[in-house]
Amino acid sequence: MLSGMNNQVSTGAAVLSARNVYKSFLGGDGIQLDILLGIDLDLAPGERVAITGASGAGKSTLLHILGSLDRPSSGRILVEGNSVSESSDEELAEIRNRYVGFVFQFHHLLREFTALENVMMPALIAGVAISEARDRSRELLEEVGVIGRESHKPRQLSGGEQQRVAVARALVNKPPVLLADEPSGNLDTQTSQRLHDLIFGLREEHEFSMVLVTHNLDLARRADRVLVLREGRLELGTKG
């Protein structure tokens, strides 16, 4: 267990859980916006959950909180049954780096660095030796099908390739959980489907759990569970 995780709470075998999570923001006019109103979620090992919902419903907000990129206003996030609420920012960064791979809607690759360096970065931050980080990253770039473009900067890659590099980067530390926010949001139908094939194929091999925020029916259909974020709460959705 990492330092900064305590308060063991029973969650069965969940790898990631939300308990009664609330999140409010202050709007520009000083009025409080209540976005999440009591979110409960248990992600089982290997489980694939899709979250849909209207624009502005709070999907990205929820994903950021699940991935410890942001903190809830109240309620708790548990990683493998351990509450991370009391963790310091440094501890949260470590937990994030170790437990969660994040794929953003816009790739968020570092523009001055090559594809290979972008994938290596989280491993280096986690203290993996350079040669090991390089080997792992090359292997992942091959798995995601970005071959012969290791030394390309993000702007020298297509949108689909950028997302593939982002997927490789998300997996370099072998996280038990992959969180993806509209990973194919900016791609055409065919490129989207190839990215979905890739993500689900990698999941078969690496056995991570995932939470996918998506409007894409093809992606939602492939999940074990579809949830809809509506009026601040998660409801069971359908795959159609």
Output 46 or 185, the one with its CB closest to ligand ATP: 185
Q: Which strand (E) or helix (H) includes residue 43?
A: strand 32-43
Q: Name 167's Cβ contacts closer than 8 Å, sequence gap at least 6.
A: 103, 144, 183, 195, 198, 199, 202
User: Does residue 53 belong to the site contacting ligand ATP (CB under 6 A)?
Assistant: yes
Residue 37 phi/psi, 5-degree rounding, is: -125, 55
Output 60 or 85, the one with its CB closest to ligand ATP: 60
Q: Which of residues 59-88 bind Mg ion (CB under 5 A)?
A: 60
Closest approach of ligand ATP to the CB of residue 148, in Å: 33
Closest approach of ligand ATP to the CB of residue 92, in Å: 17
User: Does residue 180 belong to the site contacting ligand ATP (CB under 6 A)?
Assistant: no
Which region among 3-11, 54-62, 196-204, 231-239 touches ligand ATP (by CB under 6 A)?
54-62
Q: Are 177 and 211 a contacting pair, CB within 8 Å?
A: yes
Short-list 15, 108, 21, 102, CA closest to 62: 21
∠ CA 84-87-91, rounded to 5°:
105
Which string of x and - marks every residue 1-30 that binds ligand ATP (by CB under 6 A)?
------------------------x-----
Short-list 166, 177, 53, 188, CA closest to 105: 166
Output 34 or 197, the one with its CB closest to ligand ATP: 34
Q: Which of residues 191-220 bind ligand ATP (CB under 6 A)?
A: none
Output 116 or 227, the one with its CB closest to Mg ion: 227
Residue 17, Cβ density class (10 Å: 0-12 exposed, 13-18 middle, ≥19 buried): buried
Alpha-carbon distances, residue 145 vs 41, 140, 167, 235 (angstroms): 33, 8, 11, 36
CA dihedral 193, 199, 200, 205 (to 10 degrees): 140
How many residues touch Mg ion under the rule CB under 5 A: the total is 1
The single residue among 38, 60, 73, 150 that binds ligand ATP, judged by CB under 6 A, is 60
Which region among 9-17, 56-64, 92-100, 164-172 touches ligand ATP (by CB under 6 A)?
56-64
Residues that bind ligand ATP (CB under 6 A): 25, 33, 35, 53, 55-61
Residues that bind Mg ion (CB under 5 A): 60
